[in-house]
Each structure stands twice: as structure tokens, then as C-alpha cells.
């Protein structure tokens, strides 16, 4: 693993509702509280990439490539959308911070050069920050 890592910060706004369709409204309200109601966030998205330093440029990663990948793979798909209702790649996914961070990681993994993505951090609120670094388990749903 490269000793050099870079984290880029991005922002987007989106709405969502936390609800499991297999549960009643009462159960969803008990589990998710006020987040069972449709609401929105001004999210922060941090993408950490790493690579060996190119002696010709002095850089470990081409920021233009990273920015373009984040824009097309994530931001264009989620900014100013209802994540629970209008993003086809998230259909059937409970749009918790954990599930969103994991989905965004996999979207970026497909969009970036192989091996450069290290971590995705999703800042939902000042108190809720979710990190995902690609460790996948057999029972995880991986929205693409």
C-alpha cells in the first residue's frame, strides 16, 4: 500500500427516508424515530485515494481523474434527489449512512483506476459520520 494518500471533499444535498418496507409504520417509527419521516441533508463526502508518487509529476493521484469520477459516479446520481425514491441504483436499499457510504464506495471503485480508492467518508450531520473502506462480507448488499 502506498504511503501517500489524499482526501478530497465534496458536498451534495439530498432527501431520504429511513424505512424497512417489511415493517409496519409503527415499527419503522420506533426504530428510525424522526428519520422515518422524509427529510433532507446537506451531505459532505470525502474520498480518500492513494498511489505511488509519479516522479514526472510529483503527484500520487491525478485530481482531475478523481474529481471526474466522483462527479459522474456519485454526485450526478444523488445531488438534489430523493435517495429513497428516485435513485435507481439505490432501489430496495434502506438509505442509512452506512448503506450510502458502502454504495458510494462501490460506485467509485468501478469509476476510478484500479487500486487507488482507500475510503469513503459520508458526513450526514455534525454528529453522524460514516466511513467505509471496502471490507465486504458475504451478507452485505452491495448496490451498484
Q: Which of 11, 27, 80, 140 is catalytic?
A: 80
Q: Which residues contact 20 (CB under 8 A, 6 or more apart)?
A: 27, 28, 31, 94
Q: Which of 35, 41, 46, 131 is catalytic?
A: 35
| DSSP classification of residue 96 | -
Write the CA distances from 144 to 8, 33, 55, integer angstroms.
Answer: 22, 28, 35
| Catalytic residue check, 16 | no
CA distance 77 to 60: 27
Q: Which of 16, 106, 109, 124 is catalytic?
A: 124
| Catalytic residue check, 80 | yes
SS3 70: helix
| Catalytic residue check, 26 | no
Q: Whose CA is closest to 94, among 14, 10, 22?
A: 22
CA distance 7 to 65: 13
Of how many residues is the chain composed?
A: 144
Q: Catalytic site residues?
A: 35, 80, 124
Amino acid at each position: 500500500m502506498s504511503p501517500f494518500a489524499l482526501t478530497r471533499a465534496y458536498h451534495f444535498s439530498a432527501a431520504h427516508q429511513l424505512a424497512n418496507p417489511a415493517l409496519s409504520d409503527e415499527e419503522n417509527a420506533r426504530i428510525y424515530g424522526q428519520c422515518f419521516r422524509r427529510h433532507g441533508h446537506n451531505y459532505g463526502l470525502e474520498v480518500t485515494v492513494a498511489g505511488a508518487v509519479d516522479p514526472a509529476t510529483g503527484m500520487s493521484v491525478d485530481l482531475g481523474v478523481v474529481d471526474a469520477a466522483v462527479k459522474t459516479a456519485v454526485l450526478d446520481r444523488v445531488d438534489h434527489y430523493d435517495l429513497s425514491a428516485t435513485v435507481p441504483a439505490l432501489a430496495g436499499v434502506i438509505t442509512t449512512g452506512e448503506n450510502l457510504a458502502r454504495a458510494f464506495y462501490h460506485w467509485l471503485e468501478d469509476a476510478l483506476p484500479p487500486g487507488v480508492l482507500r475510503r469513503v467518508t459520508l458526513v450526514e450531520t455534525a454528529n453522524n459520520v460514516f466511513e467505509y473502506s471496502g471490507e465486504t462480507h458475504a451478507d452485505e448488499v452491495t448496490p451498484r
